[in-house]
Structure 1
Amino acid sequence: MINIIENYKRVRNHTEYLCSFLEIEDFTPQSAAFASPPKWHIAHTTWFFEQMILLKYDEDYSLFNKDFSYLFNSYYNTIGKRIARHERGLLTRPSVKEVLNYRKYVDEKMLTLLTKEIKEVNTLTTLGLHHEQQHQELFLSDLKYTFSRNPLNLVYRKENYVSGLNSEDGWLAVESGIYEIGHQNSDFCFDNELGKHRVFLEPFKISKALVTNKEYLEFIKDGGYEKAKYWLDDGWHWLQENTITHPLYWEKLNNEWYQYSLSGLIKLEDNDIACHISYYEAAAFAFWKGMRLPTEFEWEIAAKNLKWGQRWEWTNSAYLPYPNFKISDGAVGEYNGKFMINTMVLRGASTATSKNHSRITYRNFFAPNTQWQFTGIRLAI
């Protein structure tokens, strides 16, 4: 088992590895309110350790910069005011050099504190590392959206994060019954996974394969984006208001389909698993197929016998608290609970998810119009 100090170094170093493929000009731009700049991500993840741990448990700790709490707080009202989310890209200063010095300063203090083996510190550090791993994936998805706005079809690195084939096909049948849902061992989990409880499931079948580009193209060719009957009303209005006719990053050139990826513009391969699909699109596709999306409870029970991890998979479940869900005291309590409204649950992981950051009980959540995450479709009947 990796000890907390080794794990701290591994996770923190991986963030800087992701940064190593960037030019200095790439760190600051923000292309949309939902897509934070790389510089903000690397500062915010550092701010988490400073605010949640060092200020409380290191009596000798001095703030690196008193303004950073305002600049790099994300949504923690308990801690204080913060810069507006859509203005993060205006922070040309502090410089990238200063933010990296901030990371180094906090890392030195954290590594010293971790040698004292304080239980509460270790628990919060583990949370902070999983928080950073979430931001590592956000780093990639946000960067991809920003790069996609550049007409030069920028290349981040050779790995494109969207190529990938199904290794299984057919259907998995699950019998009706009462099943236990939720995290059930002593390993790390987020608080939204707690509250082990029973659910009754009717018999169902779930696809062993995720929907491919070829299958999704058939939906497009059949006028899927032009027929309101396939769409939830909110989804249909979203299509019309944003003139959406295909998934994000797809582009038709000389009668052939391409997609923008982190390795530049690449040809859309028929057998690759479809990616960057919103919940609205996933639900419409399922309706067109005469099928549906699985609930998060069906997914969790079936996942023990499925191959998963290439795409975050939309479920037909609203993001709501489990029975006996409790919000922790202090700022940590703002991590999940207050977002349990107007979002849908995704399960699994993606090719952009950091290693050792996935499990069957993991509950990801995004608004139904979200396209910029590495999301796909698994069908159920």
Structure 2
Amino acid sequence: MGAYYETVRTRSLDLVEGLSPEDMGLQSMEDASPAKWHLAHTSWFFEQFILKEYQADYQSPDDRFAFLFNSYYVKMGPRHTRSNRGLISRPDVDAVLAYRFHVDAAMQALLHQDRTDTGDVLELAILGCHHEMQHQELLVTDLLHALSHNPLLPAYREPTPAPVAKAAPLDWIEHGGGLLEIGHDGNGFAYDCEGPRHKTYLRPFRLASRLVTNGDWIEFMQAGGYQSAEHWLSDAWACKQREDWDAPLYWWQQDDQWWSYTLRGPQPVDLNAPVVHVSYYEADAFARWSGQRLPTEAEWEVIAREYPIKGNFLETGNHRPVASQHPNDPQLWGDVWEWTQSPFTPYPGFRAPKGAVGEYNGKFMCNQFVLRGGSCATPIDQMRSSYRTFFYPHQRWQMLGLRLADDV
């Protein structure tokens, strides 16, 4: 476990390599957090849930960090206002890194002890590592949003061109439906919201073999998709008008060419790559315009578990969705999180764990939609067919896209 812990923690430091202290303090909106805060909060998690509970002689380098770097755990006490995280200029980056090293030394010592409560410590340490992987994804997407406000449009990583490939023709994967089981099967790690495993009935359906591409999306735009309320939900149309959406987030047009701001700087929009940074509202409108619909999360899961987990994840280093390099294979994993029409609600029999750790997912099971499949910013170690992430229907700053589904 010590080696796994070190691998996860080191990746976070790799992600901030080359960033200036000014970069790491940016907070561009309430939904996002500064890179420095992500580094501190993930350390806070290990400190609060493991070290202070299981290491009797542990001493924090600064007891005030318990307040500064709590996120939303009410049972862990008061916390700094979320929208003001970018105002925490002190502790500075060096102090936050020193905090991480302090926590890491204590965690490694604890993980190598022979104890009667080793099982509890390991279970929480694994949860902490997966929690950190979620924040690794947030770190880079939050940074993308922050840097997009800079008129210089700086690149997070070297602005290399994306891999070139032609999008596969749209094909369909059919399924006969029936009474099927979904949810985590109990083998290996899973978040509490992935269970209990349970039966659900599916009518016969089909799932698109590839994601919706930028080229597909431009067709929607050219057909007046953003100008007509015909295919939009009422709340969606109101949001579109209020936010003045006319294209995916980070897109602009220049000399009859669509461009997008990415983690590798400004790039021409690749017509063959999956569309990204679209809200649930936009995804649903596109599906209706296409004459299809978004899949349910159960439909996605029963198809995806038949295919190996491979694709464009954080480890590939592309840092943006790319055209599939294997166009003959169904594109089920990576590139973009895929909106489903399923609300993020508890599965039958769900019970949140006791204590503050029970606030991890259960308190968010309202007014959000489930996405599946992981993205180019997701560590591949996070992925399994039962993994559910969730966002509000208006949000766009994450790597969010879609695939189509239909009844058979």
**Segment of structure 1 superposing worse, 132-141 or 109-118:** 109-118
Distance in 2 between residues matched to 1:234 and 1:164, nearest whole Å:
37
**Counterpart residue type for residue 96 of structure 1:** V
Other-structure match for 1:154: 154
The alpha carbon displacement at 1:176 in A equals 2.3
- The reply on whether 1:9 has 2:39 as its aligned counterpart is no
Contact 1:71/1:82 (8 A) holds in 2: yes
The alpha carbon displacement at 1:302 in A equals 1.1
Distance in 2 between residues matched to 1:47 and 1:269, nearest whole Å:
40
Other-structure match for 1:212: 213
Other-structure match for 1:25: 22
SS at match of 1:78: helix
The alpha carbon displacement at 1:160 in A equals 7.5
SS at match of 2:285: helix
TM-score by length of 1: 0.97
SS at match of 2:156: coil
**Counterpart residue type for residue 259 of structure 2:** Y
Distance in 2 between residues matched to 1:159 and 1:82, nearest whole Å:
38
Match of 2:352 among 317, 327, 333: 327
Other-structure match for 2:326: none
Other-structure match for 1:183: 184
Contact 1:64/1:102 (8 A) holds in 2: yes
Distance in 2 between residues matched to 1:342 and 1:160, nearest whole Å:
38
**Counterpart residue type for residue 79 of structure 2:** R
SS at match of 1:186: coil
- The reply on whether 1:50 has 2:47 as its aligned counterpart is yes
**Counterpart residue type for residue 238 of structure 2:** H
Other-structure match for 2:67: 70
> Relative to structure 1, is the Cα distance of residues 45 and 7 closer, same or farther in structure 2, using a 3 angstrom cutoff?
same
Contact 2:27/2:33 (8 A) holds in 1: yes
Other-structure match for 1:41: 38
Other-structure match for 1:222: 223
Match of 2:387 among 351, 362, 365: 362
TM-score by length of 2: 0.90
Task: Give 1:100-111 correspondences, 5 Å limit.
Answer: 100-111=97-108
- The reply on whether 1:338 has 2:372 as its aligned counterpart is no
Percent identity among equivalent residues? 46
Other-structure match for 1:232: 233
Distance in 1 between residues matched to 2:164 and 2:14, nearest whole Å:
23
Contact 1:162/1:261 (8 A) holds in 2: no
Other-structure match for 2:92: 95
**Counterpart residue type for residue 379 of structure 1:** L
> Relative to structure 1, is the Cα distance of residues 169 and 185 closer, same or farther in structure 2, using a 3 angstrom cutoff?
farther
SS at match of 1:302: helix
SS at match of 2:405: coil
Contact 2:26/2:143 (8 A) holds in 1: no
Contact 1:160/1:262 (8 A) holds in 2: no
SS at match of 1:265: strand
Post-superposition CA distance 1:255-277 (Å, at most 9, x none): 21000001110000111111111
Distance in 2 between residues matched to 1:21 and 1:138, nearest whole Å:
18
What is the root-mean-square deviation in Å for CA atoms of aligned residues?
Answer: 1.5
Task: Give 1:95-134 correspondences, 5 Å limit.
Answer: 95-117=92-114, 118-134=118-134
Distance in 2 between residues matched to 1:81 and 1:257, nearest whole Å:
46
**Counterpart residue type for residue 76 of structure 2:** I
Other-structure match for 1:302: 303
The alpha carbon displacement at 1:158 in A equals 2.6
- The reply on whether 1:318 has 2:343 as its aligned counterpart is yes
> Relative to structure 1, is the Cα distance of residues 162 and 200 closer, same or farther in structure 2, using a 3 angstrom cutoff?
farther
Other-structure match for 1:254: 255
Distance in 2 between residues matched to 1:281 and 1:243, nearest whole Å:
12
Contact 1:213/1:271 (8 A) holds in 2: yes
**Counterpart residue type for residue 226 of structure 2:** Y
The alpha carbon displacement at 1:159 in A equals 6.7
Contact 1:163/1:272 (8 A) holds in 2: no
Contact 1:230/1:284 (8 A) holds in 2: yes
**Counterpart residue type for residue 145 of structure 1:** H
Unaligned runs of 5+ in 2: 308-329
**Segment of structure 1 superposing worse, 7-16 or 302-311:** 302-311
SS at match of 1:132: helix
Distance in 2 between residues matched to 1:13 and 1:363, nearest whole Å:
25
- The reply on whether 1:60 has 2:57 as its aligned counterpart is yes
Distance in 1 between residues matched to 2:388 and 2:169, nearest whole Å:
24
- The reply on whether 1:377 has 2:402 as its aligned counterpart is yes
Instruction: Say how many residue pairs are matched.
Output: 378
Distance in 2 between residues matched to 1:164 and 1:233, nearest whole Å:
38
Distance in 2 between residues matched to 1:294 and 1:345, nearest whole Å:
10
Contact 2:159/2:265 (8 A) holds in 1: no
Distance in 2 between residues matched to 1:197 and 1:137, nearest whole Å:
29
> Relative to structure 1, is the Cα distance of residues 161 and 120 closer, same or farther in structure 2, using a 3 angstrom cutoff?
farther
- The reply on whether 1:85 has 2:82 as its aligned counterpart is yes
> Relative to structure 1, is the Cα distance of residues 295 and 95 closer, same or farther in structure 2, using a 3 angstrom cutoff?
same
SS at match of 1:259: strand
Other-structure match for 1:274: 275
The alpha carbon displacement at 1:371 in A equals 0.4
Distance in 2 between residues matched to 1:88 and 1:271, nearest whole Å:
38
Contact 1:343/1:365 (8 A) holds in 2: yes
